[in-house]
Homo-oligomer: A and B are copies of this chain.
Amino acid sequence: MANIKPSLAKGTRDFSPREMEKRNHIFNTLKAVFKKFGYSEIQTPSFENLSTLTGKYGEEGDKLIFKILNSGDYLAKAPADLLDSRNANSLTKHISEKALRYDLTVPFARYVVMHQHELTLPFKRFQIQPVWRADRPQRGRYREFFQCDVDVVGSPSLLNEAEFILIYHEALSALGLRDFTVKINNRKILSGIAEVIGKPALIVDMTVAIDKLDKIGLEGVNKELLERGFTSEDLDILKPIILLEGNNEQKLAALKSVLQSSTQGLAGVAEIEEVFAYLESFGATDLLRERVEVDITLARGLNYYTGCIFEVKTNEVAMGSIGGGGRYDDLTGMFGLKDLTGVGVSFGADRIYDVLEELNLFPSSANASTTVLIINFDKTIEAYSLRLLANLRAQGIAAELYPAAVKLKKQMSYADDKNIPYVLLVGDEEMNSGNLSLKNMKTGEQGTMRLEDLVLFLKK
């Protein structure tokens, strides 16, 4: 065994007990909300056949997929010419048959196709698992990170879209966020705009440009639009759309007027109106007014989404989007199952973690750790302490006896470091009287009580 100084693989992280508590706080909160809305958890394997993943994420994406080397003599079946010419790119598929999950969407599509005969549609699932990308690691970007997706397939109803807005609201509120915005757009509106201008083929160029409004302003957007094949007449038509102002009703009214000649565009507006009508029926009028914003510059994953598009940002901290998603009409087409519509959103767990940290919104660790540490004074009272320990645990109280009679200071600092809120000091006197000394580690207060009272006190 080599005696090496160990290190983490680049772009990966250990999660300490305190970090796990915080991450579990996020995941457990999200899961509870997903379940309340009728979503069930699934998991897929960490690696898939390479052929399942290749070609789904574009050329750049394919490069970022981590490939797993075949076991055994993986060179035996590799074509000699590729080895001799050192053609790594073409060689890969001959020496690697498996690859690590790159996202949760493609494995989910694979799951739906493979299990189509057991699934009852609509199928509502959530999935929280790590994914891996061979990106250059940098601050806040990791090679292993968790995705958290909620999707329903097999239901065209816009009720689902409305419920995703409720899910965002309920989950982020439960995490303590107070000011966030769910932006909504619709692919059909974007298509309609390109259609009205008479340049439907330039829809991607158009959306790529107007998506940058926040960063480069109207002048910058116009410059880019001109470069991408639009004329100054087009810009005149686009300007009021890009600078669309007012509340949601005003925006939708303006869009209807601009898009009157586009059936598609009007359908997009009508979809958003139907989602809003659902929210009204839910009694979520305040939520709709305060948290939901029509934003036609929103274009995430355009090649993919076919209906409503969502993005969520917090307004309390400077941070990119903390979630997003939309409707896609051909999730499983890549695996030969056509015409299955789906809609889903995801939560950016790492960013949400950073937001909660910055706003100091994580609950204190007190509940997550051991509740009480029994100090170990000496071997003769150990038996008494062990009975006490068994009693506390039988009552469901997380408890420990320090495993050796070392110096008090060391035992106290163990409790401190582990965020244990109470220590129980049991010496001869306590053993004989049955009056136990309990110390509050936060306030330093100390008092005595009988076991029965102690149990009641600690259970609270």
Contact = CB atoms under 8 A, between A and B. Distances in A.
A6 B114 contact: yes
A157 interface: yes
Interface in A254-290: 278, 281-284
Interface in A388-424: 389-390, 393, 396-401, 403-404, 413-414, 417-418
B389 A4 contact: no
Contacts of A413: 120
A9 B45 contact: yes
A433 to B, nearest CB: 20
A155 interface: yes
Interface stretch (A64-72, A227-235, A435-443): A64-72
Interface string A33-54: 0011110111111111101100
A321 B282 CA distance: 53
Contact of A398 (B35, B122, B398): B35
Contact of A69 (B1, B40, B68, B159): B68
Interface in A82-99: 83, 86-89, 91-92, 95-98
A4 B114 contact: no
A43 B14 contact: yes
A75 interface: yes
B130 A36 contact: no
Given A14-B44, A122-B403, A157-B403, A5 B335 contact: yes
Contacts of A56: 1
A3 interface: yes
A120 B417 contact: yes
Interface in A1-21: 1-9, 12-17, 20-21
Contacts of A5: 335-336
A147 interface: no
Interface in A125-157: 125, 130, 132, 134, 144, 152, 155-157
Contacts of A242: none
Given A14-B45, A399-B38, A335 B68 contact: no
Which interface residue of A6, A132, A368 has the most chain B CB atoms within 10 A?
A6
A219 to B, nearest CB: 38
A335 to B, nearest CB: 5
A114 B7 contact: yes
Contact of A52 (B6, B35, B111, B284): B6
Given A5-B336, A110-B6, A398-B35, A42 B17 contact: yes
A370 interface: yes
Given A38-B400, A75-B86, A43 B20 contact: yes
A382 interface: yes
A283 B125 CA distance: 46
A404 B160 CA distance: 10
A400 B37 contact: yes
Contacts of A414: 120, 122
A366 interface: no
Contacts of A400: 37-38, 124
Given A9-B98, A75-B86, 13 more contacts: A6-B114, A14-B115, A17-B40, A24-B41, A35-B368, A35-B370, A37-B393, A38-B373, A46-B100, A63-B71, A76-B86, A278-B386, A281-B383
Interface of A: 1-9, 12-17, 20-21, 24, 35-38, 40-49, 51-52, 55-56, 63-64, 66-69, 71-76, 83, 86-89, 91-92, 95-98, 100, 110-111, 113-115, 118, 120, 122, 124-125, 130, 132, 134, 144, 152, 155-157, 159-160, 278, 281-284, 334-336, 368-370, 373, 382-383, 386-387, 389-390, 393, 396-401, 403-404, 413-414, 417-418
Q: Which 3 A-B pairs have the closest CB atoms?
A: A17-B40, A12-B45, A157-B403
